[in-house]
Every structure is written in structure tokens, then in C-alpha cells.
Amino acid sequence: MARDPQAALVALNRFGFGARGGASGDFLNAASDPRGFVKTELGRPNGALLEVPGLQSTPALGKAVFDYQFEIQQARDAAARSAAPSATGEGASPRPAAKGQRRNLSLNGIAMEMAPKEPQAKPAENPGTMTPAEAMQPNAQKLPPQPLNIIQKTFRAEALARLQRAVITDCGFVERLVLFWSNHFCISANKGGPARMWAGSFEREAIRPHVLGRFGDMLKAVEQHPAMLFFLDNQQSLGPDSRAGKNRNRGLNENLAREILELHTLGVGGGYSQDDVTALANIITGWTYAGRLGQLGAPGSFVFNANAHQPGAQRVMGKIYDAETVAQGEAVLADLARHPSTGKFIAIKFARHFVSDDPPPALVARLADVFTKTNGDLKALALALVDSDEAWKTPLTKIRSPYEFLIAAGRLLAQIPNNPSLYLGGLKTLGQPLWSPAGPNGFPDSNAAWLAPEGMKLRLDIATQIASKLAESVDPRDLLELAAADTASAETRRTVERAESRQQALALLLMSPEFQRR
């Protein structure tokens, strides 16, 4: 049995989410057949799908969020109406009350209003004396606990399912691919209620089925997903000459079209012009989702609204598209997926993510070639990477992103999360809030971004916090063995062994180059 610890480290960390603790034997398995260890996951049919009981489809979630928002709106209107009669003119006294009322008209405030009132006073409450617990926590706010709304509940359930998968999965290469593509085609949950509601289902429905499939299929699924349409405003975009556009005196929104060209396919410098952006924006007018009342279709499902669609042929990248239906846009997407600029753009991004910030040009060229020749076969692309020498010989110089870091820690510590809070909080602190990048270009993917002074300090603090929670039940010396085995440097080994406590040893292990680099 061949044994190659250095290659095992590459298999586990460059391609995967790091070795799992417990009795997984990940390091040994990876060392005995590094490439096989990585490739096994690619051979599992539907291995990228995430089907967890309780997670709902986008239309079902859409209906729920529309209904929720509608109720909120109604309650808000009702509150405004009931406040109005009491306002006896412009006198000073009613104003603060109205103001206070408005402040309470937040989603949760209203959700609270609607919720059955809980008995307010707890028994045996003595207002005269401070309880020990209160005394201890002078800064504690005495907020009554508010029930989570449907959006928050959904987001947390989706997050938990994804985190659990990442922590338990064997090598993690497929999950890393999901992460890559999900970030490539990112939406942000911060856009609003529907985006937060759909952040998980978007990934489950538009990304995962195609991670080992075709780029063109993923592209189409993404651009027609309600989450993306909402995120980049396409549901508001009306063809200026469409019936809806004329009736409502509103028009085009180029947001989605631009990002399709700039971020999703050709890339900046990929050869498109403003005219191409405008033409594509016209072409995808009418790409929207059905609303609460379901006039266009099942609420929360993708629909082509011919009434909003800009009539007529359009020219994109020199080619005329004259279909009058959704097929017009689908044809453009299919051509964009095949465009050489797309292959190059994807290849360099892919190599940069997995191999190094400055990937070997030969590798990038080969990946682009595979992408183009296989017509965007993403499994072939992944295999080409695993089969390349460069992926195994290039030193592990990239620092783990916060997500990769926290997941790797969870795996090593064998902590299958039953609550996403720890991860959501950690990700936010470290600047990579789940499904919420600052812009449509996604989270950065370079050492420059994650290996920043402030980030490193925060990372150390987070490692310390994790260690303070979990170190008692583990032996950091064993964990170092599981994570890095023979590849652990003498210095790291010594640093862990000589730590003054398990907590300190674990924090140092989590911060060691062996654990931080991939």
C-alpha cells in the first residue's frame, strides 16, 4: 500500500474540507490512494444533491414568504388606520405615539403583535431585589424572546443542512465544488425576505444538480431561478415596448443581464459591449416569478411573462436572436455557456480557487480546453483538475476561507452541528456571512482577502473560542495526528505539545500552518 502523506494533505485540504476526527481514518485513506480518495465522490450519482426532510421547494417557500409579508403589510395598514383617528390635528402630543408605533412596525414587532400574548409577568418575581443572575449580567437586555419568523427559521434550517453535510461528508470535494459554484453564481440573502428565504433552495435546485453536470444547464437553472431574478432585480425589468412597460411607464433593468455577461459567463474583458448588455436585458425581460396571487403561475415559481417581454429580435455578441418567447434568452445563455471567453474565465477562476492565487498557466489552459471541448462538462473539469500534476505539486499556499476553516474545525473535532448559530456567528465575524456576500461578484477568493491582519487576529480569537468550548474532550496531540500525521512540522508538533492547556493547544493547532493552508 503506497503511502504518501504529502499527497494525503493535498487530497484532504486542497480538494476537501480537511480530515475528520474520530475514527474516520481519513488521513490513512487519503495517503494510500490520494487521487482515488478525491475522485470517489465524483462517481456517486446525485452525490451533490441535498435532500433533507423539511427543506421545501422554492415555490413552496415563495408562497410562505409572500403570505408572511402580506400579513405583515395588512397588520401595518391596520395599525396605520387605527392610529389615524386618534391624531387630532397636528398637535405635538400624538406625534411621539405615532412614532413609537411606527418603530414597532418591524416584521418582528408585528409578528409579535400577531402572536398570542404570553403571560407577561413570571411568578415569584420580586421587583425589589436583583436576582443573582441579573446582578451578574448588568449589560443583559431584558428583551422578551421573540419567536423566529418563517424567514429566519427557513434560513437556519437550510444553513444547518448545508453545514451538516459539509461536516460529515467523506472528502468534501463535491461540497467544495458546490461552494465554488454557489459563490460563482452567488445571490445575497441580504437582498430581502425572498432572497433569505430562497438562499438555500437556490443552491439546492440551481447549483447542486449541475455541479457534476453541464455548465449550460447550471447557467439556465440559475438565471431562471426566482432567487437570482429577485437578487438582480429582473422581476422588475419591463420591456419598454412591452404591454406592461407601456401601461406602467416603466422599463428595463440591466442588472441581471450585466452580471450574466460580466460575472457568470464571459467575464470582464470577455468581449461584450454595453449594447450586448442592453440587448440581453431586453431579451430576458419577462423572466420573473409568479407572485402571491399566482396570476402567472404557481406562486414562487419561474414564469415567462410575455406581457413584460420586449418584443423583437436582438443582437448579442454579433448574433441575432429572434425567438419571441423564453427560448430567445435560453438560446443566448446556451451560446454564452459555449463561448471561449467563458471557458477561459471559468478555468482561471477554478484553478485560482483550488490551486493558487497565481495558478500555473499550463494548468489554466488545459482546464479551459477541457471546458470548451466537453461543452462545459463540469465533472470533466473537476477530473481534469484532479488528474493534473500541478494540483498535486503546487505547494499548499492558499489560506482557508472562513467557511472552509470553520468546517474543517468542525470536522476535526467531530462536531456535527445541531444548531447553525455557532457557524453563522463565526462566519459573520470573520467576514464571510453565509450566502450573503457584499456584491454579486461573491466572496473574494484570494490570500489577499483572507490573510489580512485583522482577519488573522479574529481567526485566532475564534480558534480560542472554539478551543475554550471543545478542548476538554479531546487530546490536541491526537488531533494533530489525525489532521496532518507525518506532514506536521516539528515546530507545530512542539508548539501543540508544549501548550499550557488543552485549550491553548487546540487553538494553536487550529491556527497552525498545517491547518490554515490548503
Partner 1 sequence: METTMGCCEEIRSLSTSRRAVLLGGASFAAWAYLPKFARAADGRDPRLVVVILRGALDGLATVAPTGDPDYAGLHGSIALSSSGPNAALPLDNFFSLHPAMPEFSRMYREKKAAVIHAVATPYRDRSHFDGQDVLESGFAGPGRVQSGWLNRALEGLPKGERVTSALAVGPTTPLVLRGAAPTVGWAPLVLPQASEDTAMRLLELYQHRDAALGSALKQGLALDKAAQGDDMKPKTGAGGVAAMRLAARGAARLMAADNGPRIGALAFDGWDTHANEGGPVGRLAQLLGGLDGALAEFETGLGERWRDTVIVVATEFGRTARVNGTQGTDHGTGTVALLAGGAVNGGRVIADWPGLKPASLYQGRDLAPTTDLRAAMKGVLKDQFGLAERVLAESVFPDSAAVKPMQGLDDGNRNLLRNLIHLRQFLRIQHPADRPHVLLDLFDAGGAGDDAGDLRAGGQPGEGEFEHGVAARLRERLEFFDDVLIACRDVAILQHRRLGEAGIGRGITAAFVFAGEKAARQREERQ
Task: Give dist(CA 17, CA 20) in Å, integer.
Answer: 9
Q: Per CB under 8 A, which of residues 496..515 are in contact with partner 1?
A: 497-505, 507-508, 511-513
Q: Which is nearer to partner 1, 81 or 122 (CB)?
A: 122
Give the nearer residue to partner 1 in terms of CB position, either 74 or 106: 106
CB of residue 516 to partner 1, shortest distance in Å: 6
Check binding of 35 to partner 1 (CB under 8 A).
Answer: no
**Which residues 424-443 are close enough to bind partner 1 by CB under 8 A?**
424-426, 428-429
Name which of 191 and 258 has its Cβ closer to partner 1.
191
Task: Report the site for partner 1 in 449-488 (rule: CB under 8 A).
Answer: 451-458, 460-466, 468-472, 475-477
- Binders of partner 1 in range 255-284 (CB under 8 A): none
Our measurement of the distance from residue 232's CA atom to the centroid of its chain's CA atoms, rounded to an integer in Å, reads 16
Contact, 16 vs 412, CB < 8 A? no
Residue 377 amino acid letter = D
CB 471 within 8 A of CB 502: yes
Cα–Cα distance, 207 to 115 (Å, whole number):
36
Nearer to partner 1, 265 or 492 (CB): 492
40 binding partner 1? (CB under 8 A): no
Number of C-beta neighbours around residue 331 at 10 A:
16
- 352 vs 517, which CB is nearer to partner 1? 517
Task: Establish if 73 lies at the interface with partner 1 (CB under 8 A).
Answer: no
User: Under the criterion CB under 8 A, does residue 243 sit at the interface with partner 1?
Assistant: no
Residue 407 as a binder of partner 1 (CB under 8 A): the answer is no
Cβ of residue 362: shortest distance to partner 1, in angstroms? 25
Which amino acid would we find at residue 194?
Answer: P
* Per-residue binder mask for partner 1 (CB under 8 A), 342-381, x = binder: ----------------------------------------
Residues 488, 126: Cα–Cα separation, whole Å: 58
We find the least distance from the C-beta atom of residue 187 to partner 1, in angstroms, to be: 12
Of the residues 54, 125, 128, 249, which one makes contact with partner 1 according to CB under 8 A: 125
Question: Per CB under 8 A, which of residues 87..116 are in contact with partner 1?
Answer: 106-108
| HEC string for 118-153 | CCCCCCCCCCCCCCHHHHHCCCCCCCCCCCCCHHHH
By CB under 8 A, residue 495 contacts partner 1? yes
In the complex, the smallest distance separating the C-beta of residue 479 from partner 1, rounded to whole angstroms, is: 12
Q: Quick check: 238 and 244 in contact, CB under 8 A?
A: yes
Q: Which of 417, 437, 440, 442 binds partner 1 (CB under 8 A)?
A: 417
Amino acid type, 254: E
Backbone angles phi, psi at 302, to 5 degrees: -65, 135
Q: Number of helices (H) and strands (E), helices first, in the chain?
A: 28, 4
Crossing angle, helix 150-168 and helix 58-86, to 10 degrees?
150
